[in-house]
Amino acid sequence: MSMEEVGLLEGMLSRYSPTGSEAVAVGYLVEWMGARGMDAFVDSAGNAVGSLGDGPREIILLGHIDTVPGEIPVRLEGDTLWGRGAVDAKGPLACFTSAAARLRAVPGWKVSVVGAVAEEGDSHGCIGLFDRHSPEMVIIGEPSGWDRITLGYKGSAWLRYEVKRPVAHSASLSGSAAEAAVAYWNNLVQVAQEYNEPHERIFEQLTPSLRGINSHSADFVESAQLEIGLRLPPGLSVQQAYEMCKAVTGDGELTLQSGMPAWRSEKNTPLVRALLAAIRRSGGQPGFVLKSGSSDMNLAGLAWKCPIVAYGPGDSELDHTPDEHILIPEYLSAVQVLVDALVHVMDKVLIEAGTKS
């Protein structure tokens, strides 16, 4: 079975699918799932969906099939497979799909694999699931390493700052729009530092990043624009972060482009316990991870309010890099852990509910 599972991942990587161009990869995944007995289709959002079983209780394995731009030649050398998405996040999605294909239907349960579109964009693939599914448990496909479970992601806010000034001679003391924009950025960094003083852990800190800067002049007016990203800790809402940044705008204008709150899951749930036990049975020493980025887990956790974690093979330090690759033994270990965890959690929940003898 392992060669087939490696072939699935290699096939997914060979179908380059940056955000907005996922259809070919989606079609490939749907065909693969359908050929292995799953009820497979493309939903109205463009996601690849494959389900096993028809019970009223659903576990969703939610990965994303889109990638950031930047094609990487797909090659397998020894135990290492290179390709865009090997880690973020076709590796975890192929792990989910392979695990579901190994399962037998469990009465009372449905296991659904979703290869969502646009996670690297506006997440409309994930959002489109909320009205059609009411899962009991969710696993998000993101790299954590085969022996690690991700419990939380920081939130995010994307801002644009613009300041305009009358054109002045370079010898003038009035200050340019570009200088005003730089001053605003420095003030914003100071605000974040003050917020972070009582918080030692990065997951609890507000972290700003300058993503772009531009300036131009026309009709005797010069302007400067900053594109700013914020990573938000739990307890700091998107609106609260925006108001903090707005308080230091000076004579510029700050616009909130988009955002999502942080999410952190509980440790003591049947899903977490099943994954911990499965990792141990495979010889690993399990641990927990809190990520400084964000993912579809932020949105899905808030919408479904059920036990939810992120799990998947791969080193997240390779996300979005030109050296993105995955180790095949780790990938296959994650498949086995997931199969083991799913079987045990479904059986245990049914037994505890008194519906299985």
Q: Which residues have a catalytic role annotated?
A: 66, 119
DSSP letter (8 states) at residue 147? T
Distances (CA, A) of 240 to 113, 124, 300: 35, 24, 21
Q: Are 135 and 59 in contact (CB under 8 A)?
A: yes
Structure tokens at 300: 């899905």
Distances (CA, A) of 99 to 275, 308, 333: 13, 18, 11
Alpha helix positions (H), 15-138: 23-35, 90-102, 124-127
- Whole-number Å distance between alpha carbons of 344 and 311: 17
- Whole-number Å distance between alpha carbons of 282 and 336: 8
Query: Any idea how long the chain is?
Result: 357
Structure tokens at 221: 């007016």
